[in-house]
Amino acid sequence: MILTVTPNPSLDRTYEIPSLDRGEVVRAVGERVDPGGKGVNVSRAVTAAGRRTVAVLPLGGAPGALVADLLDAQGIEVASVPVAGATRSNVALAEADGVLTKINAPGPELSAAEQEALLDTVRRHAPGADWIACCGSLPRGLAPSWYADLVARAHVAGVRIALDTSGPALRHALRERPDLVKPNAEELAEAVGRPLATVGDALKAAEELRARGAGTVLASLGADGQLLVDGDGARFGSAPVALVRSNVGAGDASLAGFLLAGGRGAEALASAVAHGAAAVRLPGSVMPGPAELDPGAVTVTARIPLDRPLSEPAT
Ligand SMILES: Nc1ncnc2c1ncn2[C@@H]1O[C@H](COP(=O)(O)OP(=O)(O)OP(=O)(O)O)[C@@H](O)[C@H]1O
Ligand SMILES: [Mg+2]
106-146 residue pLDDT tens? 999 999 999 999 999 999 999 989 999 999 999 999 999 99
CA distance 143 to 121: 18
Q: Is the pLDDT of residue 283 over 90?
A: no
CA-to-CA separations, 73 to 12, 38, 45, 211, in angstroms, rounded: 16, 18, 15, 43
CA–CA dist 135, 258 (Å, integer): 14
Q: What is the mean pLDDT of the chain?
A: 96
pLDDT at 92: 93
Tallying the residues shown for the chain, one arrives at 315
| Other CB atoms within 10 Å distance of the CB of residue 11 | 25
Q: Measuring CA to CA, which residue among 90, 96, 161 is closest to residue 125?
A: 161
Q: Which of 163, 172, 167, 169 is nearest to 188 (CA)?
A: 167
Q: Is 69 an active-site residue? A: no
Whether the CB-CB separation of 259 and 235 falls below 8 Å is answered with no
pLDDT at 169 over 90: yes
The rounded distance, in Å, linking the Cα atoms of 274 and 293 is 6
For residues 223 and 202, what is the distance between their CA atoms, to the nearest angstrom? 14
Q: Examine the pLDDT at 263 and tell me if it is beyond 90.
A: yes
Q: Are 77 and 26 in contact (CB under 8 A)?
A: no
Give 285's pLDDT tier (boundaries 50, 70, 90): confident
Task: Give the distance (Å) from ligand 2 centre to CA of residue 249.
Answer: 7
CB of 190 sitting under 6 A from ligand 1 = no
- Looking at residue 211, its pLDDT comes to 98
Q: Express as a percent the part of the chain with pLDDT over 90.
A: 95
Q: Is the pLDDT of residue 284 over 90?
A: no
Residue 98 has pLDDT above 90, yes or no: no
Whether the per-residue pLDDT at 182 is higher than 90: the answer is yes
State the pTM of this model.
Answer: 0.96
Set out the domains of the chain in order of their start, with CATH numbers: 1-178 (3.40.1190.20), 181-315 (3.40.1190.20)
Does the structure show a pLDDT above 90 at 255? yes
pLDDT digits (tens, 9 = 90+) for 219-246: 999 999 999 999 999 999 999 999 998 8
Query: Among 2-11, 239-248, 270-279, which stretch is predicted with the lowest mean pLDDT?
Result: 239-248
> What is the residue with the minimal CA distance to atom 16 of ligand 1?
222
Question: Which helix (DSSP H) or strand (DSSP E) does residue 70 occupy?
Answer: helix 61-73
128 Cα–ligand 2 center, Å: 26
> What average pLDDT does the segment 205-232 reach?
98
Give CA–CA dist 297/48, Å, rounded. 20
Which of ligand 1's atoms lies nearest the C-alpha of 244?
Answer: 1
Alpha carbons 146 and 249: distance in angstroms, whole number? 23
Facing residues of 308 across strands?
none
Inform me whether the pLDDT recorded for 177 exceeds 90.
Answer: yes
Summarize pLDDT for 10-53 with one digit per residue, the tens: 999 999 999 999 999 999 999 999 999 999 999 999 999 999 99
Nearest CA to ligand 1 atom 2: 223
- Distance between alpha carbon 151 and the CA centroid of its chain, in Å? 17
d(CA 209, CA 198): 17
Residue whose CA is at the smallest distance from ligand 1 atom 22: 251
Q: Report how far residue 20's alpha carbon sits from residue 265's, in angstroms, rounded to the nearest whole number.
A: 45
Ligand nearest the Cα of residue 163 is 2
**Arithmetic mean of pLDDT, 266-286:** 95
| Ligand 1 neighbourhood includes 273 CB (under 6 angstroms) | yes
